[in-house]
Amino acid sequence: MKYIIAPSILAADFGNLQRDIEMINQSEADWFHVDVMDGVFVPNISFGFPVMAAVKKHATKSLDVHLMIVDPDKFIPEFAKAGADRITVHYEACTHLHRTIQLIKASGCKAGVALNPHTPVTLLQDVIEDLDLVLIMSVNPGFGGQAFIHNTYKKIQDLKRLIQGVNEDLIIQVDGGVSLLNITKLVSAGANAFVAGSAIFATDNPSQTIIEMKNLVTTSISI
Ligand SMILES: O=C(CO)[C@@H](O)[C@H](O)COP(=O)(O)O
């Protein structure tokens, strides 16, 4: 099982974006996590295609795009064209989720679905075989730097049970308030991909923090 650390560029310094992208390129991180917010699905606006293109131009690792937008079908092909490797849409934003998953795959990307803290994992039962990734939001989406919601551990365990014998290669990603303080417990619960924004970028030495996250993950899987 591969464990993934995906720094969220939402927490990067946009005035020094190329510097922060280079830091991730040189670090032990695995993916770039790209948070797209539309001010409708979530009460915040982040960035769209121009920033996505700037990240793609300099990034040497794959782009994990998290769409916090309504009507994602309208934009999926364009995000794929802009360089997304994985596209994750929100369960709560999709009327025809199965169709949306098919569209992501037809656009050449791996497909993920994100669940808000109030949305149970059982609602994914009938599409779970079609997915490459499920993103469990451990904060309400819209902002970095929020407090981690503790019910997340139980949700990861619920998802672990749901994929048993059906799609055991599915990536279980956690996003929101992930830090050096809770990553070990998240691994024990069954998560294998970790998005972290402020826990990485708000430290004096972000690349060292990424190494420490990786070390904690490696230590907890070898126990
Ligand atoms: O999607 C989101 C927020 O909606 C996240 O990716 C945050 O950007 C993570 O930030 P931290 O909680 O790690 O600061």
Catalytic residue flag (residue 30): no
Q: Higher-confidence residue: 2 or 194?
A: 194
Report d(CA 137, CA 176) in Å as an integer. 6
Q: Which CA distances in Å does 160 have to 4, 20, 203?
A: 17, 34, 32
**What are the DSSP calls for 101-148, one per residue?**
HHHHHHTT-EEEEEE-TTS-GGGGTTTGGG-SEEEEESS-TT-SSPPP
Report how many domains make up the chain. 1
Split at pLDDT 50, 70, 90, the class of 47 is: very high
CA of 78 to the centre of ligand 1 (A): 23
CATH number for the domain spanning 169: value is 3.20.20.70
Domain that holds residue 193: 4-222
How far is ligand 1, taken at its centre, from the CA of residue 17, in Å? 17
27-45: per-residue pLDDT in tens? Answer: 999 999 999 999 999 999 9
Question: What CA dihedral angle connects 153, 158, 160 and 165, to 10 degrees?
Answer: 170
pTM of the model: 0.97
Q: Are 84 and 34 in contact (CB under 8 A)?
A: yes
ipTM of the complex: 0.97
